[in-house]
């Protein structure tokens, strides 16, 4: 009996794949994306230490002298990040020490979370 169910589910899967192909990517893509997003949000990005060196509100960028960023496999350095939400820049100023989370979003290194650990 198990074999029959196995064969049946393979047939059903194949049929839905064919239907998806016939209808274009739209049918097949959303569940895959949803799964990727769910995995990403459930995996917490570790916080890294940094110091604000420069803030560019118009460009939505911030220069941070940062410590090791484990999730990006990056050694300590000073570099420019994009900021996910420009409103986050309002709570920062040059010289502040921060804990922040950075992630690679569409190939751009982006600060996704910030908390000030030591106000200058
Ligand atoms: Cu860096």
The predicted pLDDT at position 11 comes to 52
The predicted pLDDT at position 8 comes to 52
53 alpha carbon to ligand 1 midpoint, in Å?
Answer: 13
17 alpha carbon to ligand 1 midpoint, in Å?
Answer: 42
CA distance 43 to 14: 32
CA distance 101 to 116: 12
Q: Is the pTM of the predicted complex or chain greater than 0.85?
A: no
Q: State whether residue 31 is helix, strand or coil.
A: helix
Supply angle C-alpha 78, 79, 80, rounded to 5. Answer: 145
The predicted pLDDT at position 28 comes to 54
The predicted pLDDT at position 44 comes to 72
The predicted pLDDT at position 6 comes to 54
67 alpha carbon to ligand 1 midpoint, in Å?
Answer: 8
Q: Which residues surround ligand 1, an ion (CB under 5 A)?
A: 74, 77, 79
CA distance 55 to 75: 22
Where the chain has pLDDT below 50, the residues are 12, 16-17, 19-21, 38-42
32 alpha carbon to ligand 1 midpoint, in Å?
Answer: 30
The predicted pLDDT at position 19 comes to 47
């Amino acid at each position: 009996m198990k074999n029959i169910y196995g064969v049946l589910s393979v047939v059903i899967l194949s049929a839905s794949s064919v239907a998806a192909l016939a209808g274009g990517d739209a049918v097949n893509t959303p569940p895959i994306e949803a799964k990727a997003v769910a995995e990403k949000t459930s995996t917490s990005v570790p916080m890294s230490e940094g110091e604000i060196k420069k803030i560019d509100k118009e460009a939505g960028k911030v220069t941070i002298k940062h410590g090791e960023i484990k999730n990006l496999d990056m050694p300590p350095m000073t570099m420019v990040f994009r900021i996910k939400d420009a409103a986050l820049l309002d709570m920062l100023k040059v010289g502040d020490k921060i804990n922040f989370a950075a992630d690679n979003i569409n190939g751009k290194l982006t600060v996704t979370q910030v908390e000030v650990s030591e106000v200058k």
